[in-house]
Structure 1
Amino acid sequence: MPPAKASTMRGAAWAVAAVVAGLVVAGSGGDGISAGPGGSSLSRAAPGQAANNQASAVKPGTAKVSVAATAHVLNTGNGRLEAVVPDVGKTVLLIGDSQSEPVDGWPRLGLAAAGYNVYFCGRGGTGYVAANGATGNYVDALQRGDWQLPSGTPALIVVEGGGNDAAGGASNAQIERNAERLIAELRSRYPGTRLAMIGTLARGSNDGGGRRSEVDALLGAVAAANGLPFISTGDWLTRYGLAKDLADAVHMNPQGRTALGGILEHRLRELGLDRKAAAEQGALVAVPAGGSTFQD
């Protein structure tokens, strides 16, 4: 049975089991969802801010920078609650830090402009090694259920980050080890979904990028070793003259988030990671009678 079909059937089975057992919990509506300890919480931008940036980066009616769960179902395979996300087959699961957390964060804007609805899991202050209070680093948070993954098969998974690992003094070995663990966990949980990585936003290495640029390069090597598409952002502030749009040392103001979202969209399309291209690459391929079907 094809992995995507099997995953879909498992998702349906989990939903039925949850309904029968009375375990479906009403989900949260609103602008976006970021899962924290014990459940999900809304992540909202200042009034009017997200709408203005979305309008400049995302064609109206094509995608949503944030989608929320409508309910939760019990995954009987691992005993955790998972989120029921509308149109999960058109949705990207974005795992990230404070660059991705705002409703108008540049990774969300770029992914939405590339055709995806965006479901976010993560929290500012976290990373491959870095944790934030009760929310663990990426792989620990995933395994413990600190935030809730979507049920079914997303169209794409994107992991963004590394900045907090750079700031927190994590070693190359620690970052690499946890990145490998995360990739393995995501591949196990979503065998029918493509996985890509976005690096660490920074100035260029010759313009004060420092450890952030180094972590970006390290994550690029991890992605290459695992055969994953990688979008390096370790010199974007310098390359595109966007240091002027920093709101602080590492985060962008609204204009900078919009500009980076447009650049990210372009790179996603160059790599064939926009939703139309991803759907075509994941299409079922027929084989001669007596064989089976598989996903490329």
Structure 2
Amino acid sequence: MRKAPATFRMLAPLIAVGVLLVGCGQNQTPLEPVPTRSAAPGPAQTSAAEKPLRSAPSPTALNLPVGSLYKNPANNRNELVLADVRHTAVLIGDSQAMPKDSWPQQGIAALGYKLHVVGMGGTGFVATNGKTGNYIDALQRGDWVLPYGEPPLIVVEGGGNDATQRATDAQITSNAERLLAALTKRYPGSKLAMIGTLARGASNGGARRTEVDALVGRIAAKHGIPFVSVGDWLTRYNAVGDLQDGVHLKPSGHAKLGAVLAHELTALGLTARPDSEAATPAQ
């Protein structure tokens, strides 16, 4: 086999390198850095964004004025800035809870909490009043505004209007499950509690109201949520005479059952904690 001329042997490596460089460079465009930015949450991001606000700054850190609405980027919903969310209990309820100094409000306030109350008469887990939706739908639509931060206690009361509007057990259970899931996701550090349906009791004409009270109790038990059954309180605590219309209480009845509720909630260990142990807004 003839040997290649010396000159060619010296130039061959250089020729090979040139061919390699030319081949690798074909059809290549310089890579430009891609700028990064945070996309504003939109409807398509809602489910992914509704994660617990473990890293959300406090209202104080954001310099938000008390009473203002803050559009929470984690769920794209307006939330209310409270003066002291660390010591505020949230009450979601119907007409039993709405009057100022109602028995649910008195019972919770007696435990040492301030109150933020949302809800409306004629509503419930399923029931609507024509002005707003049921509990979960009204909250998701923004009809009722929850607080920014993380309150130490959230209490859900109701079921009477579900009984009146003949909601089925399956409907009540489904919507209650949706409500509890939404509250747990949004406020993972808050305690939840439930209060049932005020009635006379099974043996005293409580009928469907007492049945709904028991159903709400089973839902609470399934989730390990403290529950106060009130399905026979009107007769057990001699409050029938304190009714003003067969369903709603006079001030005397609110005071009577408010004291009972405070006792029951205390027995469940739901009293407000000292300031040093109180729940704080997510940091």
TM tier, shorter chain?
0.7 to 0.9
Structure 2 unmatched ranges of 5 or more: 1-51
Cα RMSD of the aligned pairs, angstroms, is: 2.3
Q: Give the secondary-structure state (helix, strand or coil) at the position aligned to 1:275.
A: coil
Equivalent residue letter for 2:104: P
Question: How many Å separate the matches in 2 of 1:204 and 1:138?
Answer: 25
Q: Which is richer in strand?
A: 1
Question: Identity over the aligned pairs, expressed in percent?
Answer: 54
Given the superposition, is the C-alpha separation of residues 147 and 261 from structure 1 closer, same or farther in structure 2, using an over 3 Å criterion?
same
How many Å apart are 1:15 and its aligned residue? 7.3
Q: Secondary structure at the match of 1:196?
A: strand
Quote the offset at 1:279 in angstroms: 8.2
Q: Which residue of 1 aligns with 2:30?
A: none
Query: Contact conserved, 1:95 with 1:122, CA < 8 A, in 2?
Result: yes
Matched with 2:37 is none
Counting matched residue pairs gives 229
Q: Which residue of 2 aligns with 1:113?
A: 110
Instruction: Indicate the residue corresponding to 1:186 in structure 2.
Output: 183
1:208 counterpart = 2:205: yes
Residue 251 of structure 1 corresponds to 248
Distance 1:224 1:278, change over 3 A: farther
Using the TM superposition, give the Cα deviation of residue 148 of structure 1 relative to its aligned residue in structure 2, in angstroms.
0.5
Stretch moving more, 74-83 or 144-153: 74-83
Greater gyration radius: 2
Q: Which residue of 2 aligns with 1:86?
A: 83
Q: Which letter does structure 1 place at the counterpart of 2:150? A: T
The alignment's TM-score, normalised by the length of structure 2, stands at: 0.76
Deviates more, 1:78-87 or 1:262-271: 78-87
Matched, 1:151 2:148: yes
CA apart distance, 1:77: 1.8
Which ranges of structure 1 fall in alignment gaps of 5 or more residues? 1-5, 27-68, 284-296
Structure 1 position 81, deviation (Å): 1.1
1:174: which partner in 2? 171
Q: Quick check: 2:104–2:261 contact (8 Å CA) kept in 1?
A: yes
Equivalent residues in 2 for 1:111-150 (5 A)?
A: 111-150=108-147
For residues 27-106 of structure 1, the aligned pairs below 5 Å read 70-106=67-103
* DSSP-derived class of the 2:203 partner: coil
Q: What code does the residue aligned with 2:124 have?
A: G
Give 2:226's aligned residue: 229
- Residue 165 (structure 1) aligned with residue 162 (structure 2): yes
Residues 281 and 116 from structure 1, CA distance in 2 versus in 1: closer, same or farther, beyond 3 angstroms?
closer
